[in-house]
Amino acid sequence: MVKVPVFKGSCTALITPFCEHGIDYERYAGNLDFQYENGTAAVVVCGTTGENATLQPNEREELVRFTVNHTHGRMKVIVGIGSNDTQAALRNAENAKAAGADAVLMVTPYYNKSSQTGLIRHFTFVADRVDIPMILYNVPSRTGIGITAETYCALSKHPNINGAKEASGDISLAVNTRSRCGDDLYLWSGNDDNTVALMALGGLGVISVASNILPGVISKLCSLCLENDFAGASALYQKYAQLFGALFIETNPMPVKAAMRLLDMDSGILRLPLTDVSEENLAILRALLRESGLNV
């Protein structure tokens, strides 16, 4: 069976606009429309950037349903389901499928770290039980455990495992994985600063934080890469490279929410334990937004 990639191009890892009493759905709907109007191919809801760790179960289910209904097929909807409890990840996947999501994004288990054998069993347990495309999520800087090329290869044989969000920053791992898996496992960059490099190696796009504020730019960047215009893509990337880096000057999504507020795109409050960025880093963000030609 030939696997069809969940999406090609730019996918935004959406922030969640929290208010004092829950989620501001009016603001969230505006964010979704902004993404569609600027060429975004897919969105991730309930991901790291969406502060998934502090979403209550009822909020998560409501947020997924709202996203699917409001998007109404205009963009692919991918739901973060990751957990360090395999059964919880399964429940999240079942709820995502029931809500009409197009795919799920499943991060490696954190805190109670597993072996590579445990990773294979963790992902396979869910993929065996919910018939929905799964994107693996490798971000060892957050979870403390990474997926090896050998493990990627073993998982790529599962018909429901569609690809991987590679956020390790390890380009050699991406090369090794592509050579082992080919199109049995599609790759997307999980870091804005790796997008051009990973797409030059056969990646199909990016799951982006920066596209919360620059959806048109990230969409264009991916289009240039998909058209094999890597000179043009590199030039566009260099224009925003420092800003991309600054969006991780503190823990994501603290900086991107601050940047959105500076751009008059109110992103709502952060939930503890996340807090507002420091005044020093806010000044850095403000300067780089202005240098990038954005109206602050």
Both tokens of 169, joined, read: 């920053």
The pLDDT of residue 230 is: 98
Predicted confidence (pLDDT) per residue in 156-180, tens digit: 999 999 999 999 999 999 999 999 9
pLDDT at 170: 96
* pLDDT at residue 228, rounded to an integer: 98
User: Annotated catalytic residue: which of 165, 186, 240, 257?
Assistant: 165
User: Any catalytic annotation for residue 111?
Assistant: no
- Within 13 A of 174's CA, how many CA atoms are on the CB side? 28
CA distances from 106 to 59, 85, 92, 250 (A): 19, 12, 10, 24
Question: Under CATH, which architecture does the 9-238 domain have?
Answer: Alpha-Beta Barrel (3.20)
Out of 28, 137, 186, 240, the active site residue is 137
Q: What is the pLDDT of residue 113?
A: 87
Give bridge partners of residue 13 from the DSSP assignment: 44
Task: Flag whether the pTM goes above 0.95.
Answer: yes
Residue 55 has what pLDDT? 97
Token pair of 284 as six digits: 């850095």
In this predicted model, what pLDDT tens digit does every residue of 220-273 receive, in sequence order? 999 999 999 999 999 999 999 999 999 999 999 999 999 999 999 989 999 999
pLDDT digits (tens, 9 = 90+) for 57-99: 999 999 999 999 999 999 999 999 999 999 999 999 999 999 9
Residue 1 has pLDDT above 90, yes or no: no
- What percent of the chain is predicted at pLDDT more than 70? 100
Rounded distance between C-alpha atoms, residue 217 and residue 246, angstroms? 16
Active site residue 8: no
Phi-psi region of 141 (alpha: psi -120 to 50; beta: other; left: phi over 0): alpha
Instruction: Write the Ramachandran bin of 60: left for phi over 0, alpha for psi from -120 to 50, otherwise beta.
Output: alpha
What are the beta bridge partners of residue 186?
Answer: 163
Whether 147 and 135 have beta carbons less than 8 Å apart is answered as no
